[in-house]
């Protein structure tokens, strides 16, 4: 009689077809949201040195990228503007301009693609402020919560009027989801979705993003008075619970890989759509590993993105979206 057990778990791993048949988590292009950076000009592409392989694009270029996303089966773009320095001020006035970069990009993409692709827009003041903070400052340099919420409501309505499908407040002010939801309902934008950056941590992984939107050199101090402490987990559940009660349609955990435990806890506790942002620092680490010969890009990208789905996400914001979509094609 054999000394081995009758059940051998390796049996189902022996062939590719069997591994595919028994696979528990499936990643598809429909799970991806592609973040893109909009800049001024025409036919203008600007490389971002700290994000190798990622570039800003003028409005016409971003419209072409939207068409590319549609052809790849990517269902949604996330838009972030690189506002010119002369249009930034202490209160982020440009965020309310109906002809700002974000709004022009929204209209151009909708003209090019219609409803073939969704548009997620960032609601926060840091791309528009001269000080790089996500809100309005008092005399001591502290970000004022309620005054900032009022500004965010106006920004969200501006984007919704331009044609945004999902407004995504990334600022972490208390009470902003309820205020924005109420304003959307009252102004005829009841079908505009709200994706709350519910658990956004004060992370060291955001540096390249700040380069991309032009705020790194402007930022004085840090954002620890409003973004979450990376040591906290229970607090994330409180944040998510509040945002859902205030009217969020979905929630986001940011960053991604260092916070897979948070994603799983949120999904298990609330059973709602949870998204993750594989942030700029995570992307840059993969690219650095590839450049150093420490790993293969395609395998690293698919493994990390699959880990988000396995942890419980409905989708992932990733700069690798076009590559992943082609690999999954």
Binding site for Mg(2+): which residues?
239
Cα–Cα distances in Å, from 132 out to 79, 136, 240, 271?
18, 10, 25, 35
Q: Of 153, 150, 151, 98, whose CA–CA distance to 129 is shortest?
A: 151
Tokens standing for residue 301:
């990208």
User: How do 76-81 and 118-123 pair as beta strands?
Assistant: parallel
Taking residue 156's Cβ as centre, other Cβ atoms within 10 Å add up to 27
- 67 in catalytic set: no
Phi, psi of 102 (to 5 degrees): -60, -50
In DSSP notation, 271-289 reads: -S-EEEEE-HHHHHHHHHH
Rounded to a whole number of angstroms, the CA Rg of the chain reads 20
- 200 in catalytic set: yes
CA atoms lying within 13 Å on the CB side of residue 303: 7
Can you count the helices (H) and strands (E) in the chain?
11, 12
Place of tokens 């209209």: 107
Helix segments in 122-165, DSSP class H: 145-162
> Which residues are paired to 274 by β-bridges?
251
DSSP helix/strand/coil, 61: helix
The interaxial angle of helices 145-162 and 101-113, nearest 10 deg, is: 30
Query: CA 10 from chain center: how many Å?
Result: 38
Q: Which member of 42, 67, 110, 200 is catalytic?
A: 200
Q: Which member of 110, 223, 254, 309 is catalytic?
A: 254
Please give the positions annotated as active site.
200, 254
């Amino acid at each position: 009689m054999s000394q081995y057990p009758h059940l051998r778990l390796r049996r189902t791993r022996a062939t590719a077809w069997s591994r595919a048949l028994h696979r528990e988590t499936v990643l598809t292009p429909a799970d991806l949201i592609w973040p893109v950076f909009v800049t001024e000009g025409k036919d203008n592409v600007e490389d971002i040195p700290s994000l190798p392989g990622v570039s800003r694009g003028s409005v016409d270029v971003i419209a072409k990228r939207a068409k590319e996303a549609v052809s790849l089966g990517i269902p949604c773009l996330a838009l972030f503007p690189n506002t010119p320095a002369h249009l930034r001020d202490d209160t982020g006035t440009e965020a309310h301009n109906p002809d700002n970069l974000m709004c022009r990009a929204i209209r151009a993409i909708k003209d090019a693609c219609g409803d073939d692709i969704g548009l997620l827009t960032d609601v926060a003041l840091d791309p528009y402020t001269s000080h790089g903070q996500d809100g309005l400052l008092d005399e001591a340099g502290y970000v004022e919560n309620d005054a900032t919420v009022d500004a965010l409501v106006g920004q969200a309505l501006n984007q919704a009027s331009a044609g945004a499908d999902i407004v995504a407040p990334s600022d972490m002010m208390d009470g902003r989801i309820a205020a924005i939801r109420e304003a959307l309902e009252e102004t005829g934008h009841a079908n505009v979705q709200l994706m709350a950056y519910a658990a956004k941590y004060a992370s060291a992984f955001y540096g390249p993003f700040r380069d991309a939107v032009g705020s790194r050199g402007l930022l004085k101090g840090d954002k620890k008075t409003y973004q979450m402490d990376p040591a906290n987990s229970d607090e994330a559940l409180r944040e998510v619970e509040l945002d859902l009660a205030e009217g969020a349609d979905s929630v986001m955990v940011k960053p991604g890989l260092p916070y897979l435990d948070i994603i799983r806890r949120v999904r298990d506790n609330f059973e709602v759509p949870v998204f993750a942002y594989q942030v700029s620092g995570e992307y840059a680490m993969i690219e650095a590993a590839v450049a150093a010969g420490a790993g293969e890009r395609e395998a690293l990208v698919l493994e990390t993105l699959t880990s988000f789905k396995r942890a419980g996400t409905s989708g992932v914001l990733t700069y690798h979206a076009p590559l992943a979509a082609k690999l999954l094609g």
